[in-house]
Chains A and B, each alone.
Chain A
């Protein structure tokens, strides 16, 4: 069964360091997303991406964050200078153009720990 894969599963970094989280969406999907979940809290929308550009972003997604689809298969989230409060589980998701809004396929997440 096709799935969204994310790497790394867990990354530990020092405050101020750059981090790149990688995602391989399902191959025929056209819409891509990043969400995050701070431990024990709700899942929060970060950004949506379609046709090689950001279609929507939340107030969390400030200048420290960026997304890219560099090679037609990977979808990356970069945090330029990590803060302690960036510690969270980051989920990548994707959907086809034919799927209804919100019927997303999520990966298993990348846990980011900022020390």
Chain B
């Protein structure tokens, strides 16, 4: 069985602070995909990143960075110099290799205080 745990239910930080959202996953598969999605107040889910299990290189995209550590089954997401527009619910998700089904975590609601 696959499971994704996002232990932080809600986080509030002041604008311009850095913030890290934690994601821990469980899977018996040796190859899999990990994802982060953003759900802004408008409600849709917006794809942010996909990582393959065989690629542990960390990734940076502008103010966003992702730290994938297979040894601890974690895929954490850091926002640097946070902005009010970053306020949203962020979901981590897991999929088996070659499988269409995403297993989502319960999400972390991030509030950036101006």
Q: Which A residues are within 8 Å of any B CB, using their own CB?
A: 4, 31, 33, 35, 41-45, 48, 55-56, 58, 89, 91, 93, 100-109
**A45 and B101 contact, Cβ closer than 8 Å, known pairs A100-B50, A103-B47, A106-B45:** yes
State whether B99 touches A56 (Cβ < 8 A).
Answer: yes
Contacts of A105 in B (CB 8 A): 47
State whether B44 touches A55 (Cβ < 8 A).
Answer: no
State whether A102 touches B106 (Cβ < 8 A).
Answer: no
Contacts of B37 in A (CB 8 A): 106
Question: Closest CB-CB distance, A44 to chain B, in whole Å?
Answer: 7
Instruction: Name the residue of chain A whose CB is nearest to the CB of B35.
Output: A102
Contacts of B44 in A (CB 8 A): 4, 91, 106-109
Question: Closest CB-CB distance, B71 to chain A, in whole Å?
Answer: 23
Judged by a CB distance under 8 angstroms, whether B62 is at the interface is no
Contacts of A41 in B (CB 8 A): 106
State whether B104 touches A103 (Cβ < 8 A).
Answer: no
**A103 and B100 contact, Cβ closer than 8 Å, known pairs A41-B106, A42-B107, A108-B44:** no
State whether B106 touches A109 (Cβ < 8 A).
Answer: no
Contacts of A106 in B (CB 8 A): 37, 44-46
Q: A33-B100, A102-B35 are in contact. List 8 more A-B contacts (CB 8 A).
A: A43-B102, A45-B102, A48-B101, A56-B99, A58-B101, A103-B47, A106-B46, A109-B44
Q: List 16 A-B contacts (CB under 8 A).
A: A35-B102, A43-B91, A43-B104, A43-B107, A45-B101, A45-B103, A48-B100, A56-B100, A56-B101, A91-B45, A93-B45, A101-B97, A102-B50, A102-B95, A104-B102, A106-B45
Question: Closest CB-CB distance, A55 to chain B, in whole Å?
Answer: 6
State whether B103 touches A102 (Cβ < 8 A).
Answer: no
Contacts of A100 in B (CB 8 A): 33, 50
Question: Closest CB-CB distance, B21 to chain A, in whole Å?
Answer: 15
Instruction: Name the residue of chain A whose CB is nearest to the CB of B34.
Output: A102
User: Hey, what's the 0/1 contact readout for B84-114 against A, CB within 8 Å counting as 1?
Assistant: 0000000101010111111111110000000
State whether B45 touches A43 (Cβ < 8 A).
Answer: yes
Contacts of A108 in B (CB 8 A): 42-44
